[in-house]
Homo-oligomer: A and B are copies of this chain.
Amino acid sequence: MSAADARFSQRKEPVQARSRLTVKAIIEATAQVLVAIGYERATTDTIAARAGVSIGTLYQYFPNKESLVTALIKNHVDEIMRTVEAALTEAADAPLESALQGLIHAGVEAHRADPALHKVLFEQVPRNKLLGKHLDTSGKLQAMIEAFLCRRAPGLPRARTRVVALVLETTVEALTHRAVVDAPDWLRSREIEKEALMLLRPYLLEAVT
Contact = CB atoms under 8 A, between A and B. Distances in A.
14 contacts: A38-B126, A123-B127, A126-B126, A167-B175, A167-B199, A170-B174, A170-B178, A171-B171, A171-B175, A171-B199, A198-B207, A199-B200, A199-B203, A203-B203
A166 B139 contact: no
Interface of A: 38-40, 123-124, 126-128, 132, 138-139, 163, 166-167, 170-171, 173-175, 178, 182-183, 186, 191, 195, 198-200, 202-203, 206-207
A201 to B, nearest CB: 9
The main secondary structure of chain A at its interface with chain B is helix
A178 B200 CA distance: 17
Contact of A203 (B124, B167, B202): B202
Q: How many copies does the complex hold?
A: 4
Contacts of A202: 202-203, 206
A89 B126 CA distance: 36
A206 B195 contact: no
A8 B124 CA distance: 19
B126 A124 contact: yes
Contacts of A186: 163
A134 to B, nearest CB: 14
A128 to B, nearest CB: 5
Nearest to A173: B174
